Amino acid sequence: MQSKMKESDPILEVHNLFASTDNLPILKGVSINVYPGEIHAIMGRNGCGKSTLSKIIAGHPSYNITNGEIKFSGEKISSLEPEERAQAGIFLGFQYPIEIPGVSNLEFLRVSTNARRKFLNKEELDTFDFEELVKEKLELVKMDQAFLTRSVNQGFSGGEKKRNEILQMALLEPKIAILDETDSGLDIDALRIVASGIKKISNAQTGIILITHYQRLLDEIKPNYVHVMADGQIIKTGGSDLALELEKKGYEWTDNFVKET
Amino acid sequence: MEIIEKITTNKLVENQTEIQKICLHKLQSSPLPNPKSELWRLSNKSKFSNLLDYSINEKDLKLDTPYPKNSQSTIRLIIGENYQIKLIEENYSIQQLSEDELDKFMKEQISFFDQNENWSDLLNLSISCKKNILGLKINGSKIPPIEIFSHSSTNSFNAKTLVIFLEKNCNIELLQVNLGKENSSLSQSTFFFLEENSSLKHGVVSYGESGSNLLNSLNIIQQKNSEYKLGSLHFKFNYARFEINIKQSEGSAKTKIKGMQITKKDEQIATYTKIDFNGPNGFLDQINKSLADDKSHAIFEGSIIVPKIAQKTDASQLSRNLLLSSLAQIDTKPQLEIIADDVKCKHGATISQLNEEELFYMRTRGITLAEASKLQLSSYFQEIISFIPVSKDRWDLLDKLLNEN
Amino acid sequence: MANENLVKDVVREKEPYKYGFVTDIETEKIAKGLNEDIVKLISKKKGEPNFLLNFRLKAFKKWQKMKEPNWAEIGYQKIDYQDIIYYSAPKQKEKLSSLDEVDPKLLETFDKLGIPLTEQKKLTNVAVDAVFDSVSIATTFREELAEHGVIFCSISEAVKNHPDLIEKYLGTVVPASDNYFAALNSAVFSDGSFVYIPKGVTCPMDLSSYFRINSGDSGQFERTLIIAEESSSVSYLEGCTAPMFDTNTLHAAVVELIALDDASIKYSTVQNWYAGNEKGVGGIFNFVTKRGKCLGKRSKISWSQVETGSAITWKYPSCLLLGEESVGEFYSVALTNNLQQADTGTKMIHIGPKTKSTIVSKGISAGNSINSYRGLVKMGTKAAGSRNYSQCDSMLIGDQASANTFPYIKSQQPNSEIEHEASTCRISEDQLFYLQSRGIEFEEAISMMVSGFCRDVFNQLPMEFAAEADKLLSLKLEGSVG
């Protein structure tokens, strides 16, 4: 699938992945490799399996892998708990970030940041040091400090929730970030803030998978590869121009690919 | 059941006071509550008989209060330690009720008692001797917070009674702590009378040791424009019943209750509440949380009674329950009985586990399952604990709850 | 305030019960009273096989040892079980080969009730089994249904023609010893409907039973049994009326439903028995045991009921969810007025894994009536992944009516969820004013709001029934509110 020669090893390898929930097959043979520095976009209609793929990589307990495998930094991860994957550097940006009443956002961010730091053999941060770090990262997503004292995502607007996701990504410094429809529900200004945040966090060592319906996020963050998913499979892969073509012709255009294959 | 035997043979206590005689008489006709009544149906029989199997002990051991006194400004009382209370300050006074006052009030209360509904109180008042009844009348303002301790002694049955009159316009914070010692039973009955415009922020924290049993009953009468807030927490009892009986005698009063019970191992803790609106414009906001783990059993039954006279009542009751183990059980029954038409009443009940999506979300941020559960539980507890007055900052209840196993 | 008084005024008014007429027809009645001989006599009159006679006699023995329950929020004069006639049937020829042989008076009765039975006039898309006092007098569309293998007949006929099915299933959902009234019914049931839907068949039309009590001194004890085999489905409707008598008539029915793998049964009731007059004199005592067993995987039983009649209603259509992923539903509207008393609700017993249940109950109490919801939701130890959602709303009209909610929730399975919500409200004056300010009559406005309040339940009823129920409710409220 990868056309050019790669100098380093892939961060993430998804190989012929089949998965189901409640005995209902959802993924039917998905393969994708992400190398350092790459940005991949996965597009497709609702229900095509995009979100499921992201949840399975993050280790959601409701899904069963029935065939195929996922490797992260060369190691199989299917037996790892969600938190072990996160600590190792897999980040999932949720399409619908979960509200957790009563749990303070600041405490949540600190505990998770320290879990990741522990894995990286970095010193864990106390409250004061952590607040310093958070303030710095808040700048990236132009969030107000007041967010920190509220409960996790509770009462946040759609845009605030998404910015909170990017803030978490900035704090956790993942090796691979899978961002599930991070652009949905954002107005144009918020979209720019989120996109610039993502760009600042990513670098030549990190990989990014953007799951989206629309071109507009890809205008801000140009992907190296665009994959089109339908019915649990990747039916076409191309460069960033594939997204433009898709935008122009709509998903009906891709229906033909399914028939062809 | 040693105690029941003694009731029937009238050998329960010596030198009976008049109140003891009246209550004993009521019990003698049918010494046990009807096991078929809704209030007793779910009671574990062997645990209940264990509760009644200790000898009555009037002279219990001196209590080593487990927590240092917070500051000079807190008034600490221990039921059963004989002292004359007479605190008369510039803004307030706290005095012992005279025997006549106490007698008159208690007799009136007893006249309304129902054998099933008030069985715990009848038993308490049959046993509770003069020195274990603390009766106070309080008036004034800027009253320092009050802590009142009750405790049982190992291998005995102790009964303690607390009666408090809050006079007009009086405003206090009061924390009641019930400590169950290893292998013992504590019967604590409490009676509060809130006069017009008075306000009570009440906390009840009951915790036991292994093999402790508790019968904790709380009877509140609220006059017009009074405000009663209760934050309660019960945990670590082999068997515990918490019975709350609140009557807004003329309506137009406010009641807020946030209660919680935690059961582990094979413990059984039950909370029964009855809120009676006896006049218009009453207000109730109640939430009861249970958490049942291991092989334990948590029970909540709440009834709200809104007769025709109680127009414009606004009452809400919520029962939220966490069932953490496949061997544990939860029973909950929130009930509404309404005759008035111009009322706003609602209730709700949920039984569930910890929220899986929330847990997953935290885990994808590297937080371990155990830690994520703890965070979720602490937020679950926090709402209740922050409502318990007086000592919340010092007791570190939350940590105690989360870390003690 | 003016509105409030008006509400009270109209509540006091009363619309005559339009089904209150008596059909003058010669009937065959047995003597009043109940003993073993009476039970034997009923069985003999119906020419029943031995197993059924034994079933009845066992039930009678149990009933004699049982006590009438008193836990419901209802109060009534003690029923004298020896002052009731347990068998009453209109006199007609032994065997009817066609509808033409049915006494025209009976046909006329059902015509008047809006249930025409004759070939020319019969409802086009519903098959009807008409039960008059103790016996079923006619069942329409039998041949058409038989083509699909569907059996729809009176239970007496089923006993004769399909004794194996009766013996296999009767009393398996509601055992004779289940409760006082179920035991009584098991001993003396006279007739009722039987439905059998074979494997893989979707019943081509709605099936309906119409129960009519005509005589004043006989009780009605019908028995309904519906069996849906694998992958079959059926929608069944039940309607009830009775004449106005100033004595109370006892109605103690038992309904048993059985759904096998992937089968679905929808059971809808519109109950409009005579409710007694505004002083509480007369009316039907309606003590009914209805229960469905979701035996098969992914089976579904859905109860919907509109309860507007009877002096006393005591009824808890329930579901035993045994099969994995089986589904139970209960949708109810109960309207009480004057001195009516209704104690109704449901039991959802989750036994199998991944079972789901939904309860939506709407109670409307007007006049001096008492309307109670009583429910039980239980998650057994094996019900992993099961869910329940309940919603119980009450509406009070006038300050003499009472509404009670007694939900009982029990869980022994941590991996399950139960959610119960209940609220009580009145018709808000703001809403009334808003509607009135748009030119809507006061009475119309109330009836609009009541029907809006019940919308969630009406949506569950088969279409003709929904319209009927809506009309019935506004009629009841027209007599009572507008």
Q: How far is A111 from chain B (nearest CA, A)?
A: 7
- Cβ <8 Å between C417 and B340: no
Beta-carbon contacts of C438 under 8 Å, excluding residues fewer than 6 positions away, are none
Domain boundaries, chain A: 12-260
CATH class of A12-260: alpha beta
Residue C301 CA to residue C329 CA, distance in Å, equals 6
- Cβ <8 Å between B333 and C379: no
* The pLDDT of residue A72: 96
> Which alpha helices (H) appear in chain A, and where do they start and end?
50-58, 82-88, 105-119, 127-140, 146-149, 158-172, 188-201, 216-220, 240-249, 252-260
- Cβ <8 Å between B326 and C397: no
Beta-carbon contacts of C351 under 8 Å, excluding residues fewer than 6 positions away, are C320, C321, C322, C380, C382, C383
* The pLDDT of residue B403: 65
- Cβ <8 Å between C418 and B352: yes
Q: How far is B244 from chain A (nearest CA, A)?
A: 27
Please, which contacts does B95-104 make with residues 24 or more away whose CB atoms are closer than 8 Å?
A: B95/B136, B95/B137, B96/B134, B96/B135, B96/B136, B96/B137, B97/B135, B97/B136, B97/B137, B97/B163, B97/B165, B101/B135, B101/B137, B101/B165, B102/B133, B102/B135, B102/B163, B103/B18, B103/B19
Residue of B nearest to C411 (CA): B330
- In tens, the pLDDT along B237-257 reads 999 999 999 999 998 999 999
- Cβ <8 Å between A100 and B365: no
Mean per-residue pLDDT, B192-203: 96
Domain, as residue range, for C326: 27-427
Q: Which residue has the higher pLDDT, B79 or C469?
A: B79
A60: chain B residues, CB-CB within 8 Å: 360
Q: Does C375 touch chain B (CB under 8 A)?
A: no
Q: Does C430 touch chain B (CB under 8 A)?
A: no
Q: Which of B321, B325, B336 sits opposite C405 (nearest CB)?
A: B336
- In tens, the pLDDT along C122-167 reads 666 777 888 776 677 777 788 888 899 999 988 988 999 999 999 9
Residue of B nearest to A119 (CA): B366
* Percent of chain C residues topping a pLDDT of 90: 38
Whether A137 contacts A169, CB under 8 Å:
no
Residue of B336, B341, B350 best to disrupt the C interface, most CBs of C under 10 A: B341
pLDDT band at A29 (very low <50, low <70, confident <90, very high): very high
Residue A32 CA to residue A43 CA, distance in Å, equals 13
- Cβ <8 Å between B367 and A60: no
Q: Which residues of A touch B (CB under 8 A)?
A: 58-61, 81-83, 85-87, 91-92, 94, 97-98, 100-103, 107-108, 111-112, 115-116, 119, 151, 168, 172
Residue B289 CA to residue B324 CA, distance in Å, equals 13
Residue of B322, B354, B362 best to disrupt the A interface, most CBs of A under 10 A: B362
How many Cβ atoms are within 10 Å of C79's Cβ, its own excluded? 15
- In tens, the pLDDT along C75-121 reads 788 888 888 888 877 776 554 556 666 777 777 777 777 777 776 66
How many Cβ atoms are within 10 Å of C433's Cβ, its own excluded? 12
Half-sphere exposure of residue C339: CA atoms within 13 angstroms, side-chain side: 12
B366: chain A residues, CB-CB within 8 Å: 83, 86-87, 112, 115-116, 119, 172
- When the pLDDT of each residue in chain B is averaged and rounded to a whole number, the result is 89
pLDDT band at B71 (very low <50, low <70, confident <90, very high): low
Q: Which residue has the tokens 């939220």?
A: B320
B355: chain A residues, CB-CB within 8 Å: 100
pLDDT band at C482 (very low <50, low <70, confident <90, very high): very low
Residue of A nearest to B363 (CA): A83
- Asked whether residue C448 is assigned to any structural domain, the reply reads no
Whether A111 contacts B371, CB under 8 Å:
yes
Whether A26 contacts A45, CB under 8 Å:
no
Q: Does C383 touch chain B (CB under 8 A)?
A: no
* Percent of chain C residues topping a pLDDT of 70: 85
Residue of B nearest to C7 (CA): B341
Residue C289 CA to residue C301 CA, distance in Å, equals 15
pLDDT band at C12 (very low <50, low <70, confident <90, very high): very low
- Cβ <8 Å between A101 and B379: yes
What is the total count of domains within chain C? 1
Q: Does B352 touch chain A (CB under 8 A)?
A: no
- In tens, the pLDDT along B375-388 reads 888 888 888 888 88
What are B176's strand-pairing partners?
B148, B204
Q: How far is A96 from chain B (nearest CA, A)?
A: 10
- Cβ <8 Å between C401 and B339: yes
Residue B379 CA to residue B374 CA, distance in Å, equals 9
- In tens, the pLDDT along B90-110 reads 889 999 999 999 999 999 999
* The pLDDT of residue A117: 92
One-letter amino acid at B286 equals: Q
What are C228's strand-pairing partners?
C197, C259
pLDDT band at C441 (very low <50, low <70, confident <90, very high): confident
Half-sphere exposure of residue C337: CA atoms within 13 angstroms, side-chain side: 29
- Asked whether residue C217 is assigned to any structural domain, the reply reads yes
Q: Does C408 touch chain B (CB under 8 A)?
A: yes
- Asked whether residue C441 is assigned to any structural domain, the reply reads no
List all chains that touch chain C, counting a touch as 3 or more CB pairs closer than 8 Å.
B
- Asked whether residue C85 is assigned to any structural domain, the reply reads yes
Q: Which of C405, C411, C418 sits opposite B335 (nearest CB)?
A: C405
Q: Which residue has the higher pLDDT, B149 or C102?
A: B149
- In 3D space, the residue among C74, C266, C73, C68 whose CA is nearest the CA of residue C182 turns out to be C68
- Asked whether residue C363 is assigned to any structural domain, the reply reads yes
* The pLDDT of residue B70: 59
- In tens, the pLDDT along C254-297 reads 999 999 999 999 999 888 878 887 787 888 888 999 999 999 99
Residue C206 CA to residue A213 CA, distance in Å, equals 45
**Angle, to 10 degrees, between the axis of helix A240-249 and the axis of helix A252-260?**
110
- In 3D space, the residue among A249, A258, A235 whose CA is nearest the CA of residue A32 turns out to be A235
- Cβ <8 Å between A86 and B376: no
Residue of B nearest to A104 (CA): B379
Mean per-residue pLDDT, C7-36: 66
- Asked whether residue C95 is assigned to any structural domain, the reply reads yes
* Percent of chain B residues topping a pLDDT of 70: 93
- Asked whether residue C392 is assigned to any structural domain, the reply reads yes
